[in-house]
Structure 1
Amino acid sequence: MATALDKPPAAVDSSSASSRPKNGFRKYWHLYAAISPFYLLFLCFGLIPVGFSFYLSLHRWDGLGSMEWAGLSQYKYLLSDTDFWNSIGNTLIIWALATFPMIFLAMITAVMLNSAVRFKNVYRFAYFLPNVTSVVAIAIVFGSVFSTNFGLVNALLQAVGIDQIAWLNTPWGIKIAIATLMTWQWTGYNAIIFLAGLQTIPSEVYEAARMDGAGPVQTFFRITLPMMRPVLLFVLIISTVTGLQSFSEPQVLLQNTSNDSTFAGGPGHSGQTMVLYFFQQTFDNNDFGYGAAVAWGIFLVVIIFSIVNWRLVQRRGED
């Protein structure tokens, strides 16, 4: 006598299994439709412009006439372009002058904020305020601060018996002025990030260190810095990406000394960063094809230095 166990499996099971993906998509289509605007906007304003910029870098185009095929000739010229290499050197020097003091000051500020008891939120707001202030407004103020005749910096130098310095008319003065502006702008922002990282360190670790006789300096270098390494890596990468793309700071700060497009970046192009050079080639010279090639060169430089920074921090962590 046949039982229920002897019956073969129903054929409906295989067909239903094959139809599950379709039923799943039909079931959740409204969820895909809800998130589709982001991907459509990213496609229209992200991927398509990036692809077009690479296509444009292979052509010569003034923005009005027809495109002329150039192949890789513009990239070959980019490798021998002394102005482009000069802009890379300026950008790296300004980045170094701004980033390392900024990270040091941000870490010290975060430690002080973490140990503060009263008015902690007021201090956070005060330190974060420069980051949300318009870069143009900040650059105008710093242009007055570093003015040769009436600047605050030269007034302080004269007060201690040092001669005036033409900050915005000398190569190193320009770089120091731009780096100081960037340091002032980003110190508070990174201090808030460091503060968030400090608050994730358990207080029991510090209590155990104090019981073992560790002082504040030993605690900072033996506990705080090792446990803050992921946050430090994040800040370093973000600072590298933003620092190597500096544009508004030199553009506004040096506008009075760079009235001519061939004089962009101040005397001797000392403040001409990579993005400022890209802007000059694209919109001042109307060479959109070569400007796109410069943009891809900037992208490659940013990627290389981000990887180098990441590897250096990771290697120190392994050691």
Structure 2
Amino acid sequence: MESVLSPAASVETRPRKKRIQAWKWAPYLFISPFLIIFCVFGIFPLVFSATLSFAQWDPAAGFSAIKWIHFDNYKFVLTDTWFWKSLGNTVYIAIASGLPQHLVAIPFAAFLSTVLRGRNTVLGAYFMPFITSSVAIALIFSSLFSKDFGAINAILMWLHGLPGIGMIFPDHKIDWLLDTSLVKPTVSFVVFWRYVGWNTVLYLAAMQTIPEDLYEAATLDGARTFRKFWHITLPMIRPMMFFAVSLTLINNLQLFEEPFILLGDNGGIGQAGMTTAMYMYRTAFYFSDFGTACAISWVMFIVIAVLSYGNHKLFALAGGKEE
């Protein structure tokens, strides 16, 4: 059976098909800048870091100085007392600052959800520390916690001079940033102060999506405020709680800026406030041991991944379903 198209017409359709096939690559051409940047600054550092964790390398000597030592970096990290000390400091600060964030943010968000006038102003004031530079925050608190000229000690000394209640306050100036027993609580307070507003915004946004019909029905059944909060608000915001707790877990185990500015690059006296991220930084840029630093980063990746999975299972069990 002969074709209905003439030979001339079939020849004319060939360039058109080529143009159509060329246009199929147009979307990839437009997104290519992002793909190139992502590969250079995203994928390549991850792959290079994972590769370098199995090697010993002095960057000043160039890439030719890379020496493969297999799992020696990981063996060193897992037997290094300073790594475990920094990990202990990190976990302490993560728990001491992270747990109060949610214990305060949830009821405070529940209170703000019932307030209409001035709610945005109060919420904006609490959210301000989150968007403020962490360096500026750390510098401000380093001045507030100063032993001789800090406002915290000035207030405590003034309260000590009050009759009746003065005996419960210290009669001397406290060295908040040099006393090894107070370093971690001080850093934890700064981290708590910075992120409690962020979590409040998250929980308030989740609470505003709860249908009012549920509260009205509970009111008709005679439920009081606490029972409505416990049986309606908390179960309905559980997905947001999982999201917020996961973010807190990930961010606090990578804590760097606040202790670095408050305590210096060595984590204060006796490295009492040195986190794992600070130890990794010192290993790489002070001791030029980039292989061990990369191994530390991947060990922390595994720790965060395991804890995140545990957090997921915990919320799944709390929600009454096994996943």
- Give the TM-score of the pair, scaled to structure 1: 0.86
Q: Which residue, out of 57, 64, 70, partners 2:60?
A: 64
Measured in 2, the distance between the counterparts of 1:33 and 1:73 equals 43
AA aligned to 2:126 is: Y
Pair 1:302–1:25, CA change in 2 (3 A)? farther
Q: Which residue, out of 47, 53, 56, partners 1:51?
A: 47
Is residue 2:301 matched to residue 1:305? no
Is residue 2:250 matched to residue 1:241? yes
> 1:95-114 alignment to 2 at 5 Å?
95-114=94-113
Pair 1:117–1:67, CA change in 2 (3 A)? same
The C-alpha deviation readout for 1:139-175, integer Å capped at 9, x for no partner, is 1111122222333333343313322432212233111
- What's the CA shift for 1:26? 4.7
> 1:1-319 alignment to 2 at 5 Å?
26-65=22-61, 66-158=65-157, 159=159, 160-161=166-167, 162-163=169-170, 164-255=173-264, 264-318=266-320
AA aligned to 1:234 is: F
Pair 1:24–1:309, CA change in 2 (3 A)? farther
Unpaired runs of 5+ in structure 1?
1-6, 8-21, 259-263
AA aligned to 1:34 is: F
AA aligned to 1:282 is: A
Measured in 2, the distance between the counterparts of 1:195 and 1:34 equals 39
AA aligned to 1:126 is: A
Measured in 2, the distance between the counterparts of 1:229 and 1:28 equals 44
Pair 1:155–1:314, CA change in 2 (3 A)? farther
Measured in 2, the distance between the counterparts of 1:30 and 1:103 equals 47
Measured in 2, the distance between the counterparts of 1:25 and 1:226 equals 52
User: What secondary structure is seen at the aligned counterpart in 1 of 2:255?
Assistant: coil
Measured in 2, the distance between the counterparts of 1:204 and 1:23 equals 58
AA aligned to 2:314 is: L
- What's the CA shift for 1:201? 0.4
- % same residue: 37
Measured in 1, the distance between the counterparts of 2:227 and 2:35 equals 49
Pair 1:25–1:309, CA change in 2 (3 A)? farther
- Aligned residue pair count: 293
Pair 1:207–1:76, CA change in 2 (3 A)? same
Residue of structure 1 in register with 2:4 after alignment: none
AA aligned to 1:201 is: I
Measured in 2, the distance between the counterparts of 1:183 and 1:25 equals 56
User: What secondary structure is seen at the aligned counterpart in 1 of 2:60?
Assistant: coil
AA aligned to 1:173 is: L
- What's the CA shift for 1:42? 1.5
AA aligned to 1:59 is: A
- What's the CA shift for 1:99? 0.6
Measured in 2, the distance between the counterparts of 1:211 and 1:112 equals 21
Residue of structure 2 in register with 1:4 after alignment: none
The C-alpha deviation readout for 1:1-54, integer Å capped at 9, x for no partner, is xxxxxx9xxxxxxxxxxxxxx998655432233333322221111111111011
AA aligned to 1:39 is: L
- What's the CA shift for 1:98? 0.4
- What's the CA shift for 1:92? 0.5
Measured in 2, the distance between the counterparts of 1:154 and 1:25 equals 73
User: What secondary structure is seen at the aligned counterpart in 2 of 1:278?
Assistant: helix
Unpaired runs of 5+ in structure 2?
2-17, 160-165
Residue of structure 1 in register with 2:11 after alignment: none
The C-alpha deviation readout for 1:106-135, integer Å capped at 9, x for no partner, is 112322221121123222321211011110
